[in-house]
Structure 1
């Protein structure tokens, strides 16, 4: 089997677990004697919000465990690693449903945002809570008997808190209704990124696999975090770049960071390089919904060669991350775990 065929099979095997989990949760709702209307609402929410992504976070749990256990997994271990992977996908869905409301986004993964679906509106807030609750239902059902069950629960709680704190800093630094670019900085952007994205997108999948693999050494978890958080930072800066320069047909959404007054990497780089005249134009046009304002900001990005700056940053980050991986003590955790992540995200287009 070619590597492409192997990857397609891994995605297929992972995807097949989703309806099993969805049905288990719906069965629990039915057992509580809720009307079928409620069950179908939740089912529609699950299928709309949890599916449709790239599934990189979820698949990373499986990939990491295979590396840690030398590809010697039992059928049960494989299934349970996929369950943990889907728990991250449910967590992602919980964040995105809420995030789209806060950002007043229009599309997500090529479809209307959940709150934009007919008849949903602000019920989506409660639906996001249900998406989060499903995680702990799955953990209890499939891992309660395992020695690392509490570690899994605590890890999800900790990472959720870290992500929510990052989101709060993001929202208070850059509220949509009050543009104040003096609150922005490259340092603050980095802090937001680490908390809002890096913990749940990069550290969480690996840490979950490490618990399943029986790794107890705190030094190993720290070593993993020291590489995965910078990897997450690189990933989010890619996201900021793609929001402005990516093809909506490819990335599955229309970028709105400029309109939404986001404290993105791009605007922070522009602020650091802008002339007084350009700074004035940024102050006057950033965070405005009008396409004319957005066009002015994008022109400043072009004049300051922000895209070129990003390409340079990408190469520097790739080199720096490779150095970090090479310095890792391979007896703590295998380097291949991190190379696998690098291969997935380097020069991605969506």
Structure 2
């Protein structure tokens, strides 16, 4: 957190756009409301990875400060995605408070604020890293991962029709896996570690390939957990009210597995209730999930995924510290929010 006030100043009142103070003041508010209030998992993952990847003599205050700034760049990209995602999904709360587009009834004007957050990432990269040997590689990583996330968002959005009704014929495990891989896993799990590897001077393509394989699997694990907690987690811990996925008609892990198991009668009930904000219908879907034994299925999935990823970590052969991956795995294993 120590460098975040400096980042806000760099993006707003450090001699930038002095002729439009109103816009600078607003940008500062956008940053303060949306960026530092989450768990900061991605930023911490980058800094932790960097500390484990470089020799102790390279952990100078200057290098650590750059790692912290790069971590905030990832958190700002995350905030950009969330601001836009909440508008698309018409969500009510994020991190225990109203979504940004709900703030003072901003509505669709908040789209521009999401773009402000994204633009801030590239300003910080240029400001702090343009003379670094890894600058172009980090730019490329951010641009590639952003495109992949947008493609994943497309798959997610188009799992419902123009009226917001779920396209149940698209609720397959293959489509779900693609949504998770592109919309979540690349930017949440692979990006922070790959950026740390670039900053640490790693150039071996095979090392990046091995890291990507494990981190995308971990991203899938993370998203399935998120889907489960959206329905069965405690709102005081998750910061979300109700079940966003049921109400929005999302192609979630629970919905896909449920449709693999339902009888024709249960499917009819599911289609009548899924994708509505009516509390009675939401409760009916949750009850159906219970009848189908999905909580127990999730528990089995969680254990099997943990064991699979642990085995993959132990098979890393190119010198990447296993400790990095086990640390992240233990962080998300059996999490409650």
Partner of 2:42: 57
Partner of 1:167: 153
- Mapping of residues 215-234 of structure 1, within 5 Å: 215-234=202-221
Partner of 1:212: 199
- Mapping of residues 167-206 of structure 1, within 5 Å: 167-175=153-161, 177-206=164-193
Give ranges in structure 1 of 5+ residues lacking alignment. Answer: 1-14
Q: CA deviation at 1:285?
A: 1.0
Q: CA deviation at 1:27?
A: 2.4
301, 313, 337: which is aligned to 2:301? Answer: 313
Q: Distance in 2 between matches of 1:249 and 1:312?
A: 25
| Segment of structure 1 superposing worse, 36-45 or 232-241 | 36-45
SS at match of 2:158: helix
8 Å contact 1:180–1:283 — kept in the other structure? Answer: no
Q: CA deviation at 1:275?
A: 1.1
38, 41, 51: which is aligned to 1:66? Answer: 51
Q: Deviations over 1:287-327 (max 9, x none)?
A: 11211111111111010010110000000000000110111
Q: Deviations over 1:177-197 (max 9, x none)?
A: 222211111111011000000
Give ranges in structure 2 of 5+ residues lacking alignment. Answer: none
233, 248, 258: which is aligned to 1:260? Answer: 248
TM-score norm. by structure 2 comes to 0.97
Q: CA deviation at 1:71?
A: 4.3
| Segment of structure 1 superposing worse, 67-76 or 39-48 | 67-76
Q: Please state if 1:107 is matched with 2:89.
A: no
| Segment of structure 1 superposing worse, 175-184 or 145-154 | 175-184
Q: Distance in 2 between matches of 1:167 and 1:306?
A: 25
- Mapping of residues 143-162 of structure 1, within 5 Å: 143-162=129-148
Q: Distance in 1 between matches of 2:257 and 2:300?
A: 13
- State the aligned residue count: 334
SS at match of 2:276: coil
8 Å contact 1:57–1:201 — kept in the other structure? Answer: yes
Q: Distance in 2 between matches of 1:294 and 1:304?
A: 16
Q: Deviations over 1:125-144 (max 9, x none)?
A: 00000100000000001100
| Segment of structure 1 superposing worse, 200-209 or 279-288 | 279-288
Q: Deviations over 1:66-110 (max 9, x none)?
A: 111144411111000111100010000100000000000111111
Q: Please state if 1:41 is matched with 2:26.
A: yes
Partner of 1:134: 120
Q: Distance in 1 between matches of 2:164 and 2:52?
A: 47
TM-score norm. by structure 1 comes to 0.93
Q: Distance in 2 between matches of 1:120 and 1:304?
A: 41
Q: Deviations over 1:241-285 (max 9, x none)?
A: 000011111111123100101000001111111111111111111
Q: CA RMSD in A?
A: 1.2
8 Å contact 2:166–2:250 — kept in the other structure? Answer: no
Q: Please state if 1:17 is matched with 2:16.
A: no
313, 317, 321: which is aligned to 1:329? Answer: 317
Partner of 1:6: none
